[in-house]
Amino acid sequence: MNTVNSGPSPMPFFETVGAYQRTAALRTAVDLGLFTAIGPGGATASDAAQKCGAAERGVRILCDYLTIVGLLTKQDSLYNLTPDSAMFLDRNSPAYLGGTLHFLLSPTIMEGFQNLTEAVRKGGTALPGQGTVEDAHPVWVDFARAMMPLMMMPAQLMAKSIQCDPHKKMKVLDIAAGHGIFGITLAQQNPNLEVVALDWPDVLAVATENAQRMGVADRHSTLPGSAFDVDFGSGYDLVLITNFLHHFDIPTCESLLKKVYAALVEGGRAATLDFVPNEDRISPPAAAAFSLMMLAGTPSGDAYTFSQYDSMFRNAGFKRSELHALQPSPNQLILSYK
């Protein structure tokens, strides 16, 4: 009887060292429009090459590699999209994510990882200044324009979990609004809800465009500047803090949350969307691994556990916090009550 060799293997080493090849293959396929060329009906390498304006040999090798890594299937000489690639990588899909590569592979983000050894040695980013949290960093305009499609699903799931009464007037502050989709989604679902979006002026221009395009511009206003310096005002029923707190250390987060607490009406809520790892800090993988992104790009950011968030909100004055899963999104929602 043959036995499976369960001894040490060099494969994790080679797979990790060669991971850049997967990134390059995906970026090339998106640049060429390969997934769109294959489309719902499938295509041979010859057909796809003609549609992409590329060499048949190059397209065949690329398609075979994408099949190996699970982004295509192959039957004889016919390539087909997987359910995931059909949903997220075909330009004809409303959930197309190819544009997010512009941000995720931007020079600023990549430079942080190219200097990761130095970041580990110092315990914070090796990028100049404050890294990606430098005041009015231009990378956030790229983020706002590129990442909205990726955030559509969590925005819908978040709105469902928050459960705003559509018959009640509500005032919402959207901190670090970026593309604005979280506040915009709430406004679309609640005709009596008004959103105040806070971010840097150039970023807010993107949120304003999206609010106009999605039909809520008459209930969407802006508050330009730094969340740490701008006067929020008061009377908010809900404050959105989406993918923001992970950029900063705990004392900085708590100082912001005290401002949030003061801006809320009695009984108001703060809704925090973020990557929240389990207490072991190694699971679930997508949330736990986000800490490395913060190490590469920020001086002191981290992916915080729910117990850490609960402590931060309590120290800021909040009575309690709840953790809500937003599956299949890797993000989770924390609802905190004043």
CA separation (Å) from 27 to 95, 98, 104, 222, 277?
A: 17, 8, 11, 35, 28
Q: Are residues 132 and 63 in the same domain?
A: no
Q: Are residues 177 and 267 in the same domain?
A: yes
Q: Provide CB contacts within 8 A for 310, sequence distance 6+.
A: 321
Q: Are residues 215 and 298 in the same domain?
A: yes
Q: The domain spanning residue 207 has which CATH number?
A: 3.40.50.150
pLDDT digits (tens, 9 = 90+) for 273-288: 999 999 999 999 999 9
Nearest to 157 by CA among 335, 337, 334, 325: 325
Q: Are residues 59 and 123 in the same domain?
A: no
pLDDT digits (tens, 9 = 90+) for 148-189: 888 999 999 999 999 888 888 999 999 999 999 999 999 999
Average pLDDT, integer, range 81-106? 92
Q: Are residues 255 and 330 in the same domain?
A: yes
Q: Are residues 156 and 111 in the same domain?
A: yes
Q: Are residues 25 and 117 in the same domain?
A: no
Containing domain of residue 21, as a range?
A: 11-90
pLDDT digits (tens, 9 = 90+) for 286-325: 999 999 999 999 999 999 999 999 999 999 999 999 999 9
Last residue of a domain, one of 90, 119, 145: 90
How many structural domains compose the chain? 2
Last residue of a domain, one of 90, 125, 156: 90
Q: Is the pLDDT of residue 104 over 50?
A: yes
pLDDT digits (tens, 9 = 90+) for 208-255: 999 999 999 999 999 999 999 999 999 999 999 999 999 999 999 999
Q: Are residues 222 and 146 in the same domain?
A: yes
Nearest to 180 by CA among 160, 152, 138, 158: 152
Query: Do residues 239 and 273 touch, judged by C-beta distance below 8 A?
Result: no
Residue 148 lies in a domain: yes
CA separation for the pair 30, 188 (Å, rounded) = 31
Q: The domain spanning residue 58 has which CATH number?
A: 1.10.10.10
Residue 6 pLDDT level (bands cut at 50, 70, 90)? confident
**DSSP reduced 3-state for 124:** coil
Residue 208 lies in a domain: yes
Q: Is the pLDDT of residue 5 over 70?
A: no
